[in-house]
């Protein structure tokens, strides 16, 4: 956990013992569940901290994150990037969604065990939850990592975000082609790509870029299309 403490310091997050304990309990829980349910191919704690915790935390020092109170993580899997972000920012509220209920149950169980009180995890497909008034255009910020290509992902994520809010997409290092192919979709859905950042943390090999997309307009009510359609027929 020393490695985690050093990285938190670099990110300007205090590494008090109760915060470190939450990170530890959650990681041990995921690694233990992983023996029964496939959540990650990583079994080494050091590698886990780098690939799951540090990578998830890459956006914490940006104003777009700092200035947001309500945050949704779409396709959270085992809780990434949502859970590490929630441990880092206990004053913000996080909703984590995933289409696999087993993963949601594990997140809720582990958040209770680690006393992570600002996370609610719910089961559902983004295409369906984004039609629900309770969630549609209600969030200051949406984050998503390793879920779909940017065009499909924008249809999943942009409908959840309030006008003036942000979508931070965690993407691999070479995003040029994907960005080009998704420009039209992002525009149709009420978004605008503002910048790409590749945050660096000393001592870690992190290769994710973050694409910052601002929600500048409203998402037309016909989006997202019905479950399965965005991935079968991505907007072009
Ligand atoms: C490769 S995993 C990535 C999980 C996590 N974000 C991470 O970075 O470790 C993709 C996750 O997205 C979820 N997912 C895929 N399509 C979805 C959809 N339309 N709505 C909600 N969740 C979805 C899957 O169930 C899976 O858990």
Mutate to test the pocket of ligand 1, among 54, 99, 227 (most ligand atoms within 8 A of CB): 99
Residue minimizing CA distance to atom 14 of ligand 1: 75
Residue 211 and residue 184 in contact, taking contact as beta carbons nearer than 8 Å:
no
ipTM value greater than 0.95: yes
DSSP character for 84?
A: H
SS3 content of the chain, % helix, strand, coil (to 5): 40, 20, 40
Q: Which residues line ligand 1 at a C-beta cut-off of 6 Å?
A: 75-78, 80, 97-100, 103, 125-127, 145-147, 156
Ligand 1 mutation target, pool 77, 100, 206, most atoms within 8 A of CB: 77
What is the reported pTM? 0.97
Atom of ligand 1 nearest to the CA of 124: 21
Residue-wise pLDDT tens for the chain (236 aa)?
888 898 899 889 999 999 999 999 999 999 999 989 888 888 899 999 999 999 999 999 999 999 999 999 999 999 999 999 999 999 999 999 999 999 999 999 999 999 999 999 999 999 999 999 999 999 999 999 999 999 999 999 999 999 999 999 999 988 999 999 999 999 999 999 999 998 888 877 787 899 999 999 999 999 999 999 999 999 98
Residue 102 token pair: 């087993």
Task: Say if residue 126 carries a ligand binding annotation.
Answer: yes
75 is in an annotated binding site: yes
Q: For the chain, list the domains and their CATH numbers.
A: 2-232 (3.40.50.150)
Atom index in ligand 1 nearest the CA of residue 156 equals 19
- Give the closest residue (by CA) to ligand 1 atom 8: 145
How many A from CA of 119 to the centre of ligand 1?
A: 17
153 within 8 A of 126, measured Cβ to Cβ:
no
Q: Which of 98, 126, 128, 229 to mutate to test the pocket of ligand 1 (most atoms within 8 A of CB)?
A: 98
Ligand-binding site membership of 80 (annotated): yes
- Contacts of 96-101 with CB under 8 Å at 24 or more apart are 96/72, 96/120, 96/121, 96/122, 97/72, 97/73, 97/121, 97/122, 97/123, 97/124, 97/126, 97/129, 98/123, 99/75, 99/123, 99/124, 99/125, 99/126
For the CA of 144, the nearest atom of ligand 1: 6
State phi, psi for 119 to the nearest 5 degrees. -120, 130
Which is nearest to 51 in space by CA: 177, 201, 228, 154?
A: 201
For the sheet with 191-197, list strands across it: 119-123, 93-98, 70-74, 139-145, 161-171, 209-215, 191-197
**142 pairs with which residues across the strands?**
72, 167
The DSSP element (H or E) to which 191 belongs, if any, is strand 191-197
């Amino acid at each position: 956990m020393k490695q985690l403490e050093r990285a938190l310091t670099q990110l300007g997050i205090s590494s008090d013992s109760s915060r470190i304990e939450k990170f530890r309990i959650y990681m041990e829980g995921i690694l233990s569940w992983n023996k029964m349910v496939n959540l990650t191919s990583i079994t080494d704690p050091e590698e886990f901290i780098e690939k799951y915790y540090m990578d998830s935390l890459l956006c914490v020092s940006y104003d777009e994150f700092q200035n947001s109170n309500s945050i949704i993580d779409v396709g959270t899997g085992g809780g990434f990037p949502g859970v590490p972000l929630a441990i880092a920012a206990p004053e913000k509220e996080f909703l984590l969604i995933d289409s696999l209920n087993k993963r949601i149950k594990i997140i809720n169980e582990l958040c209770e065990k680690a006393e992570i009180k600002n996370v609610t995890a719910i089961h559902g497909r983004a295409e369906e939850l984004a039609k629900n008034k309770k969630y549609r255009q209600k969030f200051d910020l949406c984050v998503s990592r390793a879920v779909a290509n940017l065009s499909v992902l924008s249809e999943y994520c942009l409908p959840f975000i309030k006008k003036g809010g942000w979508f931070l997409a965690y993407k691999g290092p070479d995003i040029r082609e994907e960005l080009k192919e998704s420009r039209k979709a992002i525009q149709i859905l009420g978004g605008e790509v503002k910048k790409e950042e590749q945050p660096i943390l000393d001592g870690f090999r992190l290769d994710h870029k973050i694409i910052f997309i601002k929600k500048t307009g409203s998402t037309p009510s016909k989006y997202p299309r019905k479950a399965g359609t965005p991935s079968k027929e991505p907007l072009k």
